[in-house]
């Protein structure tokens, strides 16, 4: 009987803690139940321009060319006799 009282205190504390948390955060959600964050994503900074896209495509092509050269040299060094 004595071990039941501390357990009930703990459960009561946890229930009250959860209710206070839910009551404090009730106005965060909008009418569509979507979470509204304090820091919103700014689309103007995160969009990729055409020039950036061209640069990235060029970088990918140069990287693949360099990798092909590296593997070709490795294959020549490992498998072809001098």
According to the model, what pLDDT value does residue 70 have?
94
Q: Which two tokens stand for residue 13?
A: 């504390």
pTM above 0.75, yes or no: no
> How does the average pLDDT of the chain come out, rounded?
81
Whole-angstrom distance, CA of residue 49 vs CA of residue 61: 19
Average of per-residue pLDDT across 12-35: 77
């Amino acid at each position: 009987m004595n071990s039941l009282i501390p357990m009930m205190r703990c459960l009561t504390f946890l229930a009250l803690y959860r209710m206070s948390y839910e009551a404090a955060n009730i106005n965060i959600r909008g009418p569509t139940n979507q979470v509204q964050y304090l820091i919103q994503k700014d689309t103007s900074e995160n969009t990729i321009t055409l020039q950036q896209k061209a640069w990235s495509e060029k970088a990918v092509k140069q990287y693949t060319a360099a990798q092909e050269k590296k593997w070709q040299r490795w294959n020549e060094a490992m498998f072809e006799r001098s």
